[in-house]
Structure 1
C-alpha cells in the first residue's frame, strides 16, 4: 500500500467551522443554566 501521512496540521477543524458561528459570542435563543455549566441553544444555521 502506498500512501502519505501528513501530521503537520490539526486533526479536527476549529469548532466554529463545525457550528457555523463565532464561539466567543453567546447570543443564543435559549439558555439552560446548571451549577457547573450552561447549555446554549441556537436556531439551525443555513450555510450559503
Structure 2
C-alpha cells in the first residue's frame, strides 16, 4: 500500500517528488562525505 501511495504521489506531484529526491540525494552525499571525514580524523597514524 505504501508503494502504491508513493507511486501515485510521484506522478501527481512530479515537481515535489523531484525536489524531495534531489534533497535526499544531497543529504546522502553530505552524510557520505562526513563519514569519510570522520574516518580520516579518527584514524590511527602509523609511523614508517
Give the TM-score band, short-chain normalised. Answer: under 0.3
Rg: which structure is higher? 2
Pick the structure with more helix per residue: 2
Structure 1 length normalisation: TM-score? 0.25
Which has a greater percent of strand? 1
Larger RCO (CA under 8 A, 6+ residues apart): 1
